[in-house]
Structure 1
Amino acid sequence: MQGDREVAVLRYGHRPGRDDRMTTHVGLTARALGADRVILPDNASQSEETVADITGRFGGPFGVERTEELDATIRDWDGVVVHLTMYGEPVQDVEDDIRNAHADDALLVVVGGEKVPFDVYRHADWNVGVTNQPHSEVAGLAVFLDRLFDGSELDQTYEDADRRVIPEACGKHVEDVDDE
C-alpha cells in the first residue's frame, strides 16, 4: 500500500493453458512488489489458487479474487486507473504525476494479457509504457510498481507467514517461522 492508497492490479484477459504461468506471475509480482490485491479473470482459477497458496505460506496481507466483469471493474473504479501498455506515455515522464494524483484515491493498475480493447485505453487515466518496446507484462508491472513506490516496497515485511526466506550471498535458506 502506498500511504493510505490502495493499489490493486487487474489482469485483463487470460487464455487457459497458454497464460496460466504469466497470469500467476502477474499476481505474484503484484504481491511481492507492494500491491494490496490482484483481480484475475474468472477463468484463472489455477492462478488464483497458486497466488493464495504463496500468500498463505510466505505471508500477507494480500488479496486475490476473480471476476467476470473486467470491463465494469475498470469503468466503475472509484479512483485512478493506470493501464500498462507499450503504446503509453513513458513511465519516467508520468510516474510523479501518477504518484501524486489524488494520492488518497485507490489506484487500479491494468495489465493486459490478450489484445486489450480500445475502451480500456479510453477509461484509463494514464496509459503508461515501460520502454515502449514489446516485452513481458510481468516486467512492465515490476518496473511500474517499483517506480510508484519509489523502492520502498523492497523493504516490506509480511505478516502471518509460515515460511521466510533468509537472504544469503550464496545458497538457498528458507525457514519455518515456527522454528524461531
Structure 2
Amino acid sequence: MQGEPEVAVLRLAHRPGRDDRMTTHVGLTARALGADRVVYPDNADQSRQTVADITGRFGGPFEVELTDSPAATVRHWDGVVVHLTMYGERVQDVETEIREARADAPLLVVVGSEKVPFDVYEHADYNVAVTNQPHSEVAGLAVFLDRLFGGRELDREWEDADRRVVPKETGKRVVPTDEPATDERAE
C-alpha cells in the first residue's frame, strides 16, 4: 500500500492451460487486497495482460511483471520473504512478527503452483500456513494480505480508474469515475 514498504506477490510457477484462471486470480487478489505488484513466470503473459487491463479500468497503482526466473526473484529479494504453504507456521502465530519485520523492509509473498522446490522453504524468512489444510492458494493469499494490512486495504482509494463499482444491496452497477456518487437506497 502506498506510503509503506512494498508488498509484492510472486506466483512461483504457471502451468498453461491448467493454471490460467488461478494465476490470474492470484494477481487480481494481490491488487484488490493491498499488494503493490505481482510477478508472474514469463509463460503467464495472458494473466499479466488481464490484470493490467483490470488495473487500467478499475485503478491502481498496481504493477504486473514477468520474470524468467521466479526462483532467482526469491533468492535475490532484498527484504522479507513469506512463502504461503499449508505446511508452515500458523498465520495467527506469526502475523505480528511479520508486520514488524515489514515495517522496515519490502515484503515478497510467494504463492506456489506445482510442487514447490525445497530451496524456496529454505530461502523464505517465514513459511506461513492459513489453517494447515489443503485449499486454494488464492484464499490463502487473501487471508494473509488481510491479516498483514489489518483490514486497511478494504478502504483503499483507487487512482486513475475509468470506472468504479457502486455498492448496492441488490444488483450491480458500474459507472464512469466522473459520474457523481448517489445514495443507492434513495433510488
Question: Common fold, TM-score beyond 0.5?
Answer: yes
1:46-97 CA-to-partner distances (Å, cap 9, x unmatched) read 0000000000000000000000111110000000000000000000000000
Q: Residue 87 of structure 1: SS of its match in structure 2? A: strand
> How big is the shift at 1:104?
2.0
- Gapped runs of 5+ residues in structure 1? none
Residue 170 of structure 1 aligns to which amino acid in structure 2?
A: T
Partner of 2:184: none
C-alpha distance in structure 1 between counterparts of 2:162 and 2:4, whole Å: 27
C-alpha distance in structure 1 between counterparts of 2:29 and 2:102, whole Å: 24
- Answer yes or no: is the 8 Å Cα contact 1:14–1:113 preserved in 2: yes
Partner of 1:11: 11
Q: Residue 167 of structure 2: SS of its match in structure 1? A: coil
Residue 48 of structure 1 aligns to which amino acid in structure 2?
A: R
Partner of 1:106: 106
Residue 141 of structure 1 aligns to which amino acid in structure 2?
A: L
Distance change >3 Å, CA 82–CA 140, structure 1 → 2: same
User: Highest Rg: 1 or 2?
Assistant: 2
Q: Residue 171 of structure 1: SS of its match in structure 2? A: coil
Kindly report which structure 2 residues correspond to 1:53-72, keeping only aligned pairs within 5 A, or say none.
Answer: 53-72=53-72
Moved over 2 A (4+): none
TM-score when normalising by structure 1: 0.98
Over aligned residues, Cα RMSD in angstroms?
Answer: 1.0
Q: How many residue pairs align between the two structures?
A: 180
Partner of 2:142: 142
1:117-166 CA-to-partner distances (Å, cap 9, x unmatched) read 00000000000000000000000000000000000000001000001001
Q: Residue 134 of structure 1: SS of its match in structure 2? A: coil
C-alpha distance in structure 1 between counterparts of 2:102 and 2:44, whole Å: 31
C-alpha distance in structure 2 between counterparts of 1:2 and 1:74, whole Å: 23
Q: Percent identity?
A: 76
Partner of 1:83: 83
Residue 65 of structure 1 aligns to which amino acid in structure 2?
A: E
TM-score when normalising by structure 2: 0.94
Residue 31 of structure 1 aligns to which amino acid in structure 2?
A: R
Partner of 2:166: 166
